[in-house]
Structure 1
Amino acid sequence: MSTSGSIAPGRPETLTKEEEAKLKEFWNAALKVFGAGASEGPESPPQTPTDAAAEEENGDSVTPHTSPDKRRKKTLGRLLSRKEKGGAPKKETAVATGAGADIVLDAPDDKYGHTKEFKAALASQTPDQLRDAFWSMVKCDNPDALLLRFLRARKWDVDKALVMMVATMNWRSEEMNVQALVRKGEGGAAAEKDSDFMMQLRMGKSYLHGLDKEGRPICFVRVRLHKQGEQSEESLERYTVYIMETARLMLQPPVDTAAVVFDMTGFSMANMDYAPVKYLIKCFEAHYPESLGICLVHKAPWLFSSIWTVIKGWLDPVVASKIHFTKTTEDMEAFIPRENIPKELGGSEDWTYTYVEPITDENAPLGEEARRNVLQSAREDQIRKYETATRTWIAGGEAGENAAAERKAIARKLATGYWEMDRHLRARTVYDRTGVLSPNGEVDFYGYRKKAAAVETSEDDID
């Protein structure tokens, strides 16, 4: 299991000076998009008189002799600083309506059309809306850790990371409406008789249970339970995002990735459905970057080989490198302790997924608007303090060093504060009802083992 002594590179606790500089640059750009006005960081080069003249004449920060590579690098700065005619910044409107037309990512870097979504977000959403989408995604995470996911996914290229992150904010708020999905949850779906969504939960098509050797929560997918056409594509997508959002809450720092096991036992062509596979890949690569730690494909039959050839062609090489094929329980033991492998897969984990139906009034706190407003107001105060400290940290110097410590303290308060308001934002899941996920965010997949041990001890005392 991962410990504080084995935190992976590129995380808040393990940043090099160069990586911290990139993080500052990213925060500086993000705060501008969110309308929170960070100053230029110490790493930003001063503007030359020639640059200034060219900008005044052409409305562009690129001189006529700037190389194409430098032109792409400077485009984002122009996009984020563009003003309306007369020089006054436009308030409470989109960041840069109609701007960014010449931001073009190379095709390999824009597999999912992030540039288009980025421009759409800037053109249709206000800075406050994008800011709200960002902080709603943070939840109980360290804000730095969230930004670093995008930076690592884009190999520390700040422009590309910002495009990816803003595109994700747009997807979360406009396309998928993640907040509404988790607020409605299982109780809302059951009440509305959403049979497509609830059927998948009840049968346990996929479920979260246990930890691998690195302490990562495991999502088991029983492929044999899926039948093409049994659920609508929209329902499959909502179910996928719902499981991923639930899994995010089970990441216990310093662990920040999950494990996925595709159980191919009993697989036939009737179970093969390319659409949800493609959507899952998109989620991991485009909207939940750096979230997959490892993926095991267990007991894949020979007929899957030709299917895998197709699927592998869709995968980013980094994601593909995390996929391993296992045939036996012993193969799986290289990644998951035998005691954590379910008996149906040959392990010794004597546990079976059973869906527990929503309980009456379990989501009553969702309607406690006054209490939610109080908690949200307190959280907003913490967010503003964090953003202020971040601007000071970006500026550097002695004040910046003090602000770095302040940011860490506020990040901890934001994490604990999230769990105070969680029940006012998110409907309860089967993992809340079974005690796996506690109200304070602690996760215990193996509580039943403790209960069994206590019963055995009690029986021994009687004897």
Structure 2
Amino acid sequence: ADELMHGKAGDVSPPTSPNGSATTSGGQKKRFSMKAMRSPAKKSTDPLDWGMPGHLTKEEVDVFMKFRDEVEKRGGEFKSTVYSFSLIEGEAYCLTRWLRARKFVYDDVIAMVVEATEVRADARKHEFYPDPVSALGCGPSLFMHCYPQLYPGKAKNGCPIFISKPGVLNTDAMECITSLDGILKFHWHVMMHDYKQRLMEHKKAHPDFCNFQTVTVIDLEHLSTSQLSKRALSIVKTQTAIDSVCFPETMNRTLVINAPRFFSMTWGIIKGWIDPRTASKIELISSRKTWEARLRELCDEDEIPSDYGGKGPATTSALEKEYAPEGVLQEH
């Protein structure tokens, strides 16, 4: 235990792949030094540092070690669930994501992984739906036309930027082209084939990148009370439920922009679906001047779309370019 606490990086054998064999390919070649896991003498005051490698208490390191050993012992589907973004994420950063999600309460973390393994079991049988058309039952461009979403760039911390526009979500049109089940399958596709690939590509280009999280912008422009129907909320809730149990702690920061006044009541409902620490990462900003400034604090201008105050391609152009073969023009 003393060697794990104070040993040099690489003192411990590398993690094994889900089938039980040792691996040193991609990401961290050896386990994170337990000494490096501990909090520095001067503790960080940034709440986002809590539970991150390099900021753990002795008690949290002990839970980390116990969880790590259990993941290796169980292997198989249990380990595949934990390392959903592959071993390239790195043991220390991957395991602490799960631990933070349950406040380092060991039994709760184990229960969460078991639940996540069950939740994703059916999607895993279908390899998480590699073909988006088969998943949705229609072309992705039609889906994006009804519910625009895209990854336009990366934040200053390396995290992908994700922009979603539920303010223009057309539920009636959505129900004509797909179903809630189709949307669910497409969400698995996005997380396991699109988002995952973006993280892996950035990791390969920047080996020190370990923050497998997202800076999210939720744009509520054009949102009306009539859009906050049970059907519309069920779409958001279904996606949120999957992410919270199967992809914990993947939200770095979320900006909810152009929020109308009546949204405060709806926000109260949505906050009930997520834990308090996650809610603390979410900023509601109605003033365009204020949220543009905040975006520039988090992201370089070239990574921000021009319709969001940056110098990158407009979101409508980016979506049309990505789905150009399907020929659907993007309104928002």
Length-normalised TM-score, structure 2: 0.66
Give the drift of 1:334.
4.4
Alpha-carbon distance in 1 for matches of 2:267, 2:50: 31
Give the drift of 1:151.
0.9
Counterpart contact for 1:227–1:270, Cα < 8 Å: no
Give the drift of 1:308.
2.1
Paired amino acid for 2:157: E
Q: Is the counterpart of residue 343 in structure 1 residue 306 in structure 2?
A: yes
Alpha-carbon distance in 2 for matches of 1:14, 1:24: 15
What residue in structure 1 maps to residue 72 of structure 2? 31
Counterpart contact for 1:228–1:270, Cα < 8 Å: no
Given candidates 101, 117, 121, the residue that maps to 1:169 is 117
Counterpart contact for 2:214–2:250, Cα < 8 Å: yes
What residue in structure 2 maps to residue 254 of structure 1? 210
Paired amino acid for 2:64: L
Counterpart contact for 2:255–2:282, Cα < 8 Å: yes
Alpha-carbon distance in 2 for matches of 1:342, 1:204: 17
Q: For residues 414-462 of structure 1, give each alpha carbon's deviation from its aligned partner in whole angstroms, at most 9, with x where no partner exists.
A: xxxxxxxxxxxxxxxxxxxxxxxxxxxxxxxxxxxxxxxxxxxxxxxxx
Q: For residues 183-203 of structure 1, give each alpha carbon's deviation from its aligned partner in whole angstroms, at most 9, with x where no partner exists.
A: x233xx26x882175522466
Q: Residues 203, 349 of structure 1: CA spacing in aligned structure 2 closer, same or farther, 3 A cutoff?
A: farther
Alpha-carbon distance in 1 for matches of 2:220, 2:270: 15
Counterpart contact for 2:81–2:113, Cα < 8 Å: no
Given candidates 313, 322, 330, the residue that maps to 1:356 is 322
Give the drift of 1:161.
0.8
Q: Is the counterpart of residue 317 in structure 1 residue 276 in structure 2?
A: yes
Q: For residues 132-190 of structure 1, give each alpha carbon's deviation from its aligned partner in whole angstroms, at most 9, with x where no partner exists.
A: 5555553532133222211111111111111111221222223x3386224x233xx26
Give the drift of 1:355.
4.3
Alpha-carbon distance in 2 for matches of 1:203, 1:255: 31
Paired amino acid for 2:310: G
Where does 1:386-397 land on structure 2 (aligned, <5 Å)?
none
Q: For residues 304-362 of structure 1, give each alpha carbon's deviation from its aligned partner in whole angstroms, at most 9, with x where no partner exists.
A: 23322322233321121111112233322443227243222343434432243599xxx
Alpha-carbon distance in 2 for matches of 1:279, 1:287: 12
What residue in structure 2 maps to residue 240 of structure 1? 187
What residue in structure 1 maps to residue 154 of structure 2? 211
SS in 2 for 1:294: strand
Paired amino acid for 1:160: D
Q: Residues 356, 315 of structure 1: CA spacing in aligned structure 2 closer, same or farther, 3 A cutoff?
A: closer
Q: Is the counterpart of residue 185 in structure 1 residue 131 in structure 2?
A: yes
Paired amino acid for 1:234: D
Counterpart contact for 1:212–1:335, Cα < 8 Å: no
Alpha-carbon distance in 2 for matches of 1:193, 1:315: 26
What residue in structure 1 maps to residue 260 of structure 2? 301
Give the drift of 1:15.
4.5
Q: Residues 28, 254 of structure 1: CA spacing in aligned structure 2 closer, same or farther, 3 A cutoff?
A: closer
Length-normalised TM-score, structure 1: 0.49
Counterpart contact for 1:297–1:324, Cα < 8 Å: yes
Give the drift of 1:27.
2.1
Q: Residues 20, 295 of structure 1: CA spacing in aligned structure 2 closer, same or farther, 3 A cutoff?
A: same
Q: Residues 323, 235 of structure 1: CA spacing in aligned structure 2 closer, same or farther, 3 A cutoff?
A: same
Stretch moving more, 198-207 or 310-319: 198-207
Counterpart contact for 1:222–1:262, Cα < 8 Å: yes
- RMSD of aligned C-alpha atoms? 3.3
SS in 2 for 1:22: helix
Q: Is the counterpart of residue 155 in structure 1 residue 67 in structure 2?
A: no
SS in 2 for 1:200: helix
What residue in structure 1 maps to residue 90 of structure 2? 142
Given candidates 215, 220, 224, the residue that maps to 1:264 is 220
Counterpart contact for 1:259–1:295, Cα < 8 Å: yes
SS in 2 for 1:293: strand
Q: Residues 305, 155 of structure 1: CA spacing in aligned structure 2 closer, same or farther, 3 A cutoff?
A: closer
SS in 2 for 1:140: helix
What residue in structure 1 maps to residue 30 of structure 2? none
What residue in structure 2 maps to residue 391 of structure 1? none
Where does 1:77-116 land on structure 2 (aligned, <5 Å)?
none
Mind listing any 5+ residue stretches in structure 2 that lack a counterpart? 1-39, 204-208, 326-332
Stretch moving more, 305-314 or 134-143: 134-143
Mind listing any 5+ residue stretches in structure 1 that lack a counterpart? 35-127, 360-463
Q: Residues 132, 256 of structure 1: CA spacing in aligned structure 2 closer, same or farther, 3 A cutoff?
A: closer
Q: Residues 305, 222 of structure 1: CA spacing in aligned structure 2 closer, same or farther, 3 A cutoff?
A: same
Q: For residues 87-116 of structure 1, give each alpha carbon's deviation from its aligned partner in whole angstroms, at most 9, with x where no partner exists.
A: xxxxxxxxxxxxxxxxxxxxxxxxxxxxxx
Q: Residues 309, 154 of structure 1: CA spacing in aligned structure 2 closer, same or farther, 3 A cutoff?
A: closer
Q: Residues 348, 137 of structure 1: CA spacing in aligned structure 2 closer, same or farther, 3 A cutoff?
A: closer
Alpha-carbon distance in 2 for matches of 1:228, 1:202: 11
What residue in structure 2 maps to residue 278 of structure 1? 237
Counterpart contact for 2:137–2:182, Cα < 8 Å: no
Alpha-carbon distance in 2 for matches of 1:144, 1:218: 23
Q: Residues 137, 267 of structure 1: CA spacing in aligned structure 2 closer, same or farther, 3 A cutoff?
A: same
Alpha-carbon distance in 2 for matches of 1:178, 1:345: 39
